[in-house]
Structure formats: structure tokens, C-alpha cells
Amino acid sequence: MTLHEAAERLGVHYMTAYRYVRQGQLNATRTSAGWRVSLNDLEQFSRPGVAATGEVPKGRTRRHAPWASRLEARLIAGDVEGAWSVIESAMAAGSTVDRVYTEYITEAMESIGARWAAGELAVADEHRATVVVQRLLGRLGPQLNRRGRSRGTVVVGSPSGEHHSIPSAVVADLVRAEGWSVIDLGSDCPASSFTQVVEETDAVAVLLSVSHEHSFPAAAEVTAEVQATHPHTLVITGGRASNTSERLAQ
């Protein structure tokens, strides 16, 4: 059904229904003819405990609203402003920027990746979501900049074979928020590039983001090369492929 029809069924103005969509409260798909809402999504939105005013169910505070799932829906739709609206609502409800990074964005992207692997989403859906997240990080990043003297330089990136740049971008912003100067080399970076930047900046640490187990050998190569020329530089690898960050060398 159209969004106008959905608004009529909910008994609200069209712009109110539109706000639900942009904040991720009501799932909808954007087509050339406008927003479309499935009957199932409308019934789910209208179920007992979810008021048509958009309030969260009793027993759940706005701070603990399902922000990650709301954000996920906007990412898949490729809706930049809608995704930003979800984040703004989350922060207005008391969520911190680092929580937006470590919980909402991370959980949304992990879910999208899992759904893609299960065949529920197409490659285009995942890429569309990735582009939206990159734009969101561009808005959020400056809010994590910390004034004052730098604590030192840290190099962040992913080794050869890793094609996901968002994890290292998230780590880079969070480390920067702690007062460090950060150089993010992004994804699929050869070991020689890490050693070059460490040499140029006298970096105190290298943080490697690894999303797939098959990338661990490449991460080990980076560790070996950095340690061979700069034995006092800390090298840490972590990410989705490991349950916890693993120190490869000290």
C-alpha cells in the first residue's frame, strides 16, 4: 500500500507516517511511485505496545529502543537522511556517539552482512548500506575529535585481501576520540605500506582490522614486517574474525 494509505489506516497525518519511516520506526520501501508499506510491516508497527504516536513500548525506554534495527532498515533502503534521523533520535534519547558506533552501526552492518550471506539480501543492498554508513561516519567523525596535545600516532587499517573499510574507519574515529593522532590506511593494504607509514610518523601502534579468518596470514605478515624494522611498535589485530582483539606482537 502507499504511505498515504498506511497513514489513513494508522489514523495519522501523512507527514507523521513519513516521520515514522524516516526514523526507522515503520519499515517502507521507496519506489519510483513513492513509499510503499507492506501489510505485514504495518501490522507489526500497529501491534499492541507500539502506539501510533511512535512511542516505544512500555517497559522499554527510548534510550533502549531498537535503534540498530531501525538504522538497518534505512541503510538497506539507501536512505541517508532517514538513517541520520534515526541516529539523531537515538542521541536525543541519550545515546552517546561511541555507542552509535559500537552498537547501532556495528550491529546493523553485521546483520546486513549475515543476511547477505544467507541470500536474503543482494550485493546491491549491502553496497548501498555501506555507502550510507560511510556518509554517516563523515558526519559523526568530527564530533569525536579531541582537542589538546596528541598522545601519539596510531596507524589503522586492514591487511591485503580485506575489502571492508568501515571497520577500520570506526576504529580510527574511536581511537581519535581518545586523543591519538590516527592515520587510517583503509582496506586491502599491503604490509609495506604499514611499515612505510610507521617509519614516516614514528607511530606507537598499528591496529589491524580483520573480518575474515583467511586474512590472518596477511595480518601476520604486517606484524612481522613492522616488528622487523620497528620492534617497539605495538601491533594488534582484531575484528569480526576474532572473538576478542588478539595481540600479535609487542
Residue 53's pLDDT is what?
42
Rounded Cα–Cα distance for residues 191 and 160 (Å) = 8
Number of domains in the chain: 2
| Bridge partners (DSSP) listed for residue 181 | 153
State the CATH number of the domain containing residue 39: 1.10.1240.10
What was the pLDDT predicted at 3? 83
Are residues 139 and 150 located together in one domain of the fold? Answer: no
Segments forming the whole domain that contains residue 187: 145-249
Q: Within this chain, do residues 138 and 32 fall inside the same structural domain, yes or no?
A: yes
pLDDT at position 168 = 92
**Which segments in the chain show pLDDT lower than 70?**
23, 47-64, 242-250
Nearest 10 degrees: Cα torsion 127, 107, 90, 184: -60
Position 64 scores a pLDDT of 58
pLDDT tens digits for range 165-179: 899 999 999 999 999
54 and 175 part of one domain:
no
Q: What is the pLDDT of residue 47?
A: 67
Do residues 132 and 213 share a domain?
no
Q: What is the pLDDT of residues 188-228, one digit of tens each?
A: 999 999 999 999 999 999 999 998 888 899 999 999 999 99
**CA angle (138, 139, 142) in 5-degree steps:** 85
Q: Are 59 and 131 part of one and the same domain?
A: yes
